[in-house]
Structure 1
Amino acid sequence: MIWIFLSSGLFLGWSLGANDAANIFGTAIGTKMLRFRTAAIFGSIFVILGAVISGSGAAHTLGKLGDINAVGGAFTVALAAGATVSWMAKLGLPVSTTQAIVGSIVGWDLFTGSQIDTVSLTKIVSTWVFSPLLAGIFAFILFNILKFYLKRVRIHLLQIDNFTRIGLLLIGIFGAYSLGANNIANVMGVFMGSNPFKGLSLGFFYLNDIQVLFMVGGFAIALGIFTYSYKVITTVGRELHKLSPLAALVVVLAESLVLFIFASQSLERFLVSMGIPPLPLVPVSSSQAVVGAIVGIGIARGGGRAINFKKLYKIVIGWFLTPLSSGILSFFLLFFMQNVFQVSTYRPIKYAITEYAYREVPTTLSQAIEPIKGEVFANAREFKEKLSELGIKKEGTGYLLFLARIDSIYIDSMIAKRELDQKWFGKKRIEAVKKLHGRMFVHKWQVVEELSKISDEWKFRSSDRRYRVYNRELKKMYDTIFHVFLIQNIREKFKISPE
């Protein structure tokens, strides 16, 4: 059954491999410098490696946009995104998988009454403009450097040919890795909240549950590369070939760099260590990065005369049309799945100012929320509306949403021993969890509070940029704890009927 629900994500991955591989290897194959089989093998291997090793960075941001907590909802959201991509591609309109999945997630948020993380949404949307712009800047700089070098160094045409051939292969490998690292979030990110997989030990290597999920998605992308990308690659290759092999090489490198920097946690750590503000780790459109890079080449060659403004106009229209179409389709498909097929597309998350939550409320807010103490709200939207009626400002609303969210959690030491992998969590963290055996918690923050008291290993560090990566990794561990010990998940996993 789980593979049926995963099928929409796998289809999205297959589509990504079939279409976006052209942006990486189109030039090499179109110019006959690389055989399709060679490109497909290298592309498949490195797209999977990129997804598994570096995929969690961009996926983390996408996951915050919508906490899709039911596999039926994840299936529907991915289906809406895939259908939108297919429909718009058939109409000949420029389409981005990233924009489609973002629209679908927002549609899920609206359907379920969930809180939309506007900070994450702003980060993602801003990259729709920034990523092609950055690709254009990279292409402009790289093209001029290459042109300057070739003018001053006398290289035989055969040497240039060999250089280009090797360069296209190496940059293609880098591009495949970057594509997997950045775009696996589009393929499997929506399934993170309802991930059916467990961690997997491979001798010297250990893959946590999210990495296993991404590996499955990576195989779907690889399958798309092998089975259907040849036609797209040859078509795009001929189009890019008009640039000349060297110019096209620059385009692919610029695109790959953009995908990489928006996915690499290692680069983020390096920038933070240097005191440089890092770029957000978000999924970006490889196709639009390519267009941005081509524009950069056009400017480097002869200014605006070489730019296809008609195509740019279509892309801008796509920025609005793709997420809007996907969001609307997602909303109606969710309604259809929930009410016609009786498939659970979300687990209702209730909110209440419980006795526990009320103790944590600042004195500046406690009097204002006194009238709703103990009242249960069906979702975040209803709770926010009530807070607005009570005159609670935006800052206070965010904090109260955090405090009031109800997630019934039960800690069991046997489940901890069975489900929590020591290689990832570490012995001290797991022992701390076991010490909470038999305890039930109403709110997630209570678990964080108790574990932090037991072990420093469970404490978040300051919000300083230096600890951003550490805190993000710790949050992933907490998310796993919440998923494993959520009472509803325990009942479903062990077939326990609610009393």
Structure 2
Amino acid sequence: MAMMAVITALFMAWAIGANDSAKAVGTAVGSGVIGFKRGVLLIGVFTTLGVLLGGAGVSGTVARLAGNMTTAQVGLVLFSAASAVTLASLWGRPISTTQSVIGGLVGAALALGLPVDWWTVGKIVSAWVLSPLVSALFAIAVYRIYKPVLRRIKCLRNLELTQKWLVFTASAFSAFNLGANELSNVAGLMEGAGIDGPFKLILALTLAFGALTFSYEVMMTVGRDISPLGPTSAFSSQFGASLAVSAANLIGLPVSSGQAIVGSISGLGLYKGEHVNLRLLAGIVKGWVIAPLFAGAISYFLVTALA
């Protein structure tokens, strides 16, 4: 049973890499600041640091929602969530792995007749609703501060170098948050099953492999298709989203970096009067609603049939 939980946890980490890594480096790759392979390397390094150093609060929240589930039941939850995320990645859409995990947990708890901590679930759902809005406000604020500073740099080479390093820094910050939040959802469930220690490192490496093998389409959706991104917009969007996710990490709420970056890109695009692909945006939001419901339904069915 423990082996099944380990395999499904690795599947979930791979699925996070395939989908959520786009939200960490999608703006940098989509705007042409860094290449795809360098983006994957950045993901591998900073996601590892995030899950090892910054995920304690989120892990604890998710572990509480798992309640009295067995290791096998946790494995079924992770399989359900990973399946939902993989389908979204095949579709090229950024969805929330956090929502999928929480949806799977609630579905399993209902199937087992276990009490659901609806207060905690309510707080998490509220954070999901607020994070895109807060991220958009942060992105606009960063842009308004950042743009005048850039205008003072007269040397074109220095300007380009400054922009590239700032975009790189914002992406590294976001990748750290990916480890501290989304990957810590998986780590928290495995800790509850008694699997800890070096396993976090294995999860981080598996996430990086998911980013390398399957994330390109989602990365282009985030970094190119929602709204046009230059280096200035890329930095402002990425840094604004990272600030919002960091605030959630500090209070131990598992939010979606995907919702944060989509909110910041679209919010900043509207603020600047640029084209925002509203049809694509509507499809992404629909995926945010479907993902936890789909993961919850699959989890409910599997737990009822097998657990």
Does the alignment reach a TM-score above 0.5?
A: yes
SS in 1 for 2:215: helix
In structure 1, the partner of 2:265 is: 294
In structure 2, the partner of 1:336 is: 305
CA offset at residue 228 of structure 1? 3.3
Q: Is the 8 A contact 1:132 1:290 kept in 2?
A: yes
Q: Is the 8 A contact 1:64 1:120 kept in 2?
A: no
1:141 equivalent in alignment to 2:112: no
CA offset at residue 33 of structure 1? 3.1
CA offset at residue 24 of structure 1? 2.2
Judge which range, 36-45 or 224-233, deviates more. Answer: 224-233
Q: Is the 8 A contact 1:140 1:299 kept in 2?
A: no
1:188 equivalent in alignment to 2:187: yes
Q: Is the 8 A contact 2:58 2:185 kept in 1?
A: no
CA offset at residue 137 of structure 1? 0.6
Tell me the distance in 2 between the aligned counterparts of 1:191 and 1:68.
13
SS in 2 for 1:284: coil
What pairs up with 1:444-455 in 2 under 5 angstroms? none
CA offset at residue 28 of structure 1? 2.9
How many equivalent pairs are there? 307
Indicate the structure with greater helix content. Answer: 2
Tell me, which stretches of 5 or more residues in structure 1 are unaligned?
197-208, 265-279, 339-499
SS in 2 for 1:242: coil
In structure 1, the partner of 2:228 is: 242
SS in 2 for 1:95: coil
The one of the two structures with greater contact order (alpha-carbon pairs below 8 A, sep at least 6) is 2
What pairs up with 1:16-35 in 2 under 5 angstroms? 16-35=16-35
CA offset at residue 235 of structure 1? 5.7
Aligned-residue sequence identity (percent) comes to 33
In structure 2, the partner of 1:162 is: 161
Tell me, which stretches of 5 or more residues in structure 2 are unaligned?
none
- The verdict on how the C-alpha distance between 1:8 and 1:257 changes in structure 2, with shifts beyond 3 A counting, is same
In structure 2, the partner of 1:318 is: 287
Compute the TM-score of the two structures, normalised by the length of structure 1.
0.57
In structure 2, the partner of 1:260 is: 246
Q: 1:223 aligns with which of 206, 209, 215?
A: 209
Tell me the distance in 2 between the aligned counterparts of 1:308 and 1:31.
16
1:104 equivalent in alignment to 2:101: no
Tell me the distance in 2 between the aligned counterparts of 1:231 and 1:319.
18
1:45 equivalent in alignment to 2:45: yes
SS in 1 for 2:181: helix
Tell me the distance in 2 between the aligned counterparts of 1:221 and 1:14.
5
- The verdict on how the C-alpha distance between 1:88 and 1:17 changes in structure 2, with shifts beyond 3 A counting, is closer
Q: Is the 8 A contact 1:252 1:290 kept in 2?
A: yes
Tell me the distance in 2 between the aligned counterparts of 1:45 and 1:92.
24
In structure 2, the partner of 1:470 is: none
Compute the TM-score of the two structures, normalised by the length of structure 2.
0.90
In structure 1, the partner of 2:10 is: 10
- The verdict on how the C-alpha distance between 1:225 and 1:77 changes in structure 2, with shifts beyond 3 A counting, is same
In structure 2, the partner of 1:58 is: 58
